[in-house]
Amino acid sequence: MPLYEYSCRSCGERFEILQRLGENGDHLACPACDHSEVEKVFSTFAAGAQSAGAGPGPAAQAAGCCRGTPT
Ligand SMILES: [Zn+2]
């Protein structure tokens, strides 16, 4: 189940919502101020999630110059 991040247009609060496929977010409301105008945020760090857990170490340095997928 995908986890989406939303940002409140009223107070700027950011919160995450577990959302099923095909489900609209028109019923969402900000948990901080209960404002209903929220916009979806595509977090950039999600792209690097596959490297999470490795941490800063020799592995990260080794993959620094050539982080292609081994074939
Ligand atoms: Zn808010």
Q: What is the number of residues in the chain? A: 71
CB 38 within 8 A of CB 8: yes
**Mean pLDDT to the nearest integer, 28-44:** 87
Domains of the chain: 1-44 (2.20.28)
Residue 4 pLDDT exceeds 60: yes
C-alpha of residue 8 to centroid of ligand 1, in Å: 5
18 pairs with which residues across the strands?
A: 3
Q: How far apart are CA 51 and CA 69, in angstroms?
A: 12
Res 31: pLDDT:
93
Q: Which of 48, 52, 38, 53 shows the shortest CA–CA distance to 4?
A: 38
**Which residue is it, tokens 């020799």?**
58
C-alpha of residue 32 to centroid of ligand 1, in Å: 5
C-alpha of residue 49 to centroid of ligand 1, in Å: 27
Q: How far apart are CA 55 and CA 44, in angstroms?
A: 18
C-alpha of residue 35 to centroid of ligand 1, in Å: 5
Res 2: pLDDT:
77
